Amino acid sequence: GAGVSQTPSNKVTEKGKYVELRCDPISGHTALYWYRQSLGQGPEFLIYFQGTGAADDSGLPNDRFFAVRPEGSVSTLKIQRTERGDSAVYLCASSQVGGGTDTQYFGPGTRLTVL
């Protein structure tokens, strides 16, 4: 079956612009996660959704970042007033329920470059 998909695969924007990154989880997965991976580093947690609600947003770095999942499936990560330091690969993952032993399946990521 289809895995987690993310669009666009690459996004180049200018400092100060607004961007939206989209994630389509595996069908039937109720839990969805966003991570950010900077060059040479491991992924860093941003936010976790259980269904439509954000169950844990403790990883969002500041109020320029927010994410939605209005129907409990597709999610959009939104970044306002982008800064050069936001450049990274943004990863989305999903899991069946969100239990502690659930496997998180990762998408290919969106590479964001802020000029």
Partner 1 sequence: GNSVTQMEGPVTLSEEAFLTINCTYTATGYPSLFWYVQYPGEGLQLLLKATKADDKGSNKGFEATYRKETTSFHLEKGSVQVSDSAVYFCAFMDTGRRALTFGSGTRLQVQP
- DSSP states along 14-27: -TT--EEEEEEPPT
Cβ nearer to partner 1, comparing 14 with 27: 27
Is 96 exposed, middle or buried, given 0-12, 13-18 or 19+ CB atoms closer than 10 A? middle
What x-and-dash track marks residues 89-108 binding partner 1 by CB under 8 A? --x-x----x-xx-xxxxxx
Contact flag: residue 56 with partner 1 (CB under 8 A): yes
The tokens for 114 are 């802020």
- 20: helix, strand or coil: strand
| Nearest partner of 51 among 33, 71, 27, judged by Cα | 71
Indicate which single residue of 58, 62, 63, 71 sits in contact with partner 1 (rule: CB under 8 A).
58
Which residues from 13-42 bind partner 1, rule CB under 8 A?
31, 33, 35, 40-42
* Contact footprint for partner 1 (CB under 8 A): 3-4, 31, 33, 35, 40-45, 48, 55-56, 58-59, 91, 93, 98, 100-101, 103-109
